[in-house]
Structure 1
Amino acid sequence: MSWPFLLTSLVVVATPGTGAVYTLNAGLLRGHRAAAWAAAACTLGTVPHLLAAVSGLAALLHAASAVHQVLVWAGVAYLLHMTWTTWRSVTVETATGTGGLPVPGHRVPAPAGPAGVAAPPLRAGAVAVTVPAPRASRVLRDGVVLNLLNPKLTIFFIAFLPQFLTTAQPVRAAVQMSVLGAVFTGLTWVVFTAYGVGAALLRPVLVRRPALLARVTRSFAVCYLVLAVGLAVQHLR
């Protein structure tokens, strides 16, 4: 293992992508615990890609056009699903007076799930935003699936790791790829955790500003949409 590998891996991991966006989303909107679960989930989602690259299965899947296309469009579909659920995960209420009752027609329905932390009673005209708190199992599921259905990861491992191998002997090369991949996965967890925890530190600011919280939440939905469109366009070229 070399310093060029570590530095290159750190730059690659730190570059914002699907996993980074998801972890930032979890930390900023849900807090430290959700950020930790999201970082672990996105890291777990890279492991199957690494195993496929080490075993040579990734090259076979990439060569099989039909299978590769299914993975790509499944990834696009899941990103669109995340766009929709994130956009609708915010409940907005506008108060009419004492007691904080909402004005009819101003409520944006949110999907069913465990209730989030609601704001205290509102003054007339004030806005309250409730973001449902998903279970840890859902945070894990979404994080794992997002990276599992990211076909660029398998291609990345095939193209990236062999550059740092010091042997052409198949068994030793596979062992070296496994070690390098494990280090890369560890760096992924460290960087994503740092992203999530750092974002969680800013969460109190959003909690005090409901309208900003709603805008930030929906900006993450737009990020997922941009990632979905980018993946689709890149595949169609």
Structure 2
Amino acid sequence: MDLGIVLAFIGAAAVISLVPGPDMMYILANGISTGPRGGVVAAVGMSTGVLVHTVAAALGLTAVFQAVPAALEVVRIAGVVFLLYLAVQSLRSSALPDVRGAPARSLGRIYGMAVLTNVSNPKVILFYLAFVPQFVSLDAPWPVPVQLLALGGLLLVVGICVDAAVGVSSGWLSNVLVRHRGVQRWLDRAAALLFGGLALRLATEDLR
């Protein structure tokens, strides 16, 4: 691949990764709720979701969503339901009487939910349909699927650097605040608000 195209893609990926969106809000919410490790694990889960989308794009599966718009609506509905579930779970955590003695959300659960959050986001599918192909060249010596995998790998690396920084920062802030009695309960409520807001945004967005 041409070096200029690679550098342009990295720059564009960095800008896109820095723009707050559902993935970043999910990482922020988990960092606030569970600390730095939870934020970083959420970032890794999001990157795994990006990997799934990358492989799907290389296999041509994303074209199915372009040909069958109803499939994209199904993904949207699944995403809304899942985000609402996360909001309810966070609210339930905030209602526990003994916050400091409450069991922490497992890192495996955070990771799995992060993967599902990313995979069920129709905006990511549209991103792969509209953005990534602009950096693919039919004249390049590499086959198109290989180029898509390479670009997806670059996007993954850039994204995890940005997302992990967000997870660590929000988690560190959470650890500082949680030293004060009762703050964890409000942090869980803030996470629930973020998840609920993301669900509402996804439900009302125009995917065209």
With structure 2 as the length reference, what TM-score do the two structures score? 0.87
State the match for 2:50 in structure 1: 46
Please list the CA deviations of residues 87-138 of structure 1 after superposition, one character each: whole Å capped at 9, or x if unmatched. Answer: 2211454xxxxxxxxxxxxx8xxxxxxxx634xxxxxxxxxxx5x4111221
CA contact (8 A) 1:24 1:195 kept: yes
**Which of 95, 118, 123 lines up with 1:147 in the alignment?**
118
Partner AA of 1:30 in structure 2: T
Identity across the alignment (%)? 31
State the match for 1:74 in structure 2: 78
Going from structure 1 to structure 2, the CA distance change for 1:206 and 1:60 (only over 3 Å counts) comes to same
Cα shift at 1:146: 0.7
Partner AA of 1:193 in structure 2: A
Q: Does 1:234 align with 2:205?
A: yes
Unaligned runs of 5+ in 2: none
Q: What is the number of residues matched between the two proteins? A: 204
Cα shift at 1:168: 4.8
- 2: distance between equivalents of 1:86 and 1:216? 9
- 1: distance between equivalents of 2:76 and 2:32? 28
Cα shift at 1:81: 0.7
Paired residues for 1:172-191 under 5 Å? 172-191=143-162
State the match for 2:6 in structure 1: 2
State the match for 1:202 in structure 2: 173
With structure 1 as the length reference, what TM-score do the two structures score? 0.77
CA contact (8 A) 1:52 1:154 kept: no
Instruction: Write out the 4+ residue segments of structure 1 that deviate beyond 6 Å after TM superposition.
Output: none
State the match for 1:59 in structure 2: 63
CA contact (8 A) 2:48 2:115 kept: yes
Cα shift at 1:38: 1.2
**Which of 90, 93, 97 lines up with 2:94 in the alignment?**
90
Q: Which has the larger radius of gyration?
A: 1
Cα shift at 1:224: 1.4
Cα shift at 1:235: 4.3
Cα shift at 1:233: 1.2
Q: Does 1:164 align with 2:135?
A: yes
Greater helix share, 1 or 2?
2
With CA pairs under 8 Å and 6+ residues apart, which has the higher RCO, 1 or 2? 2
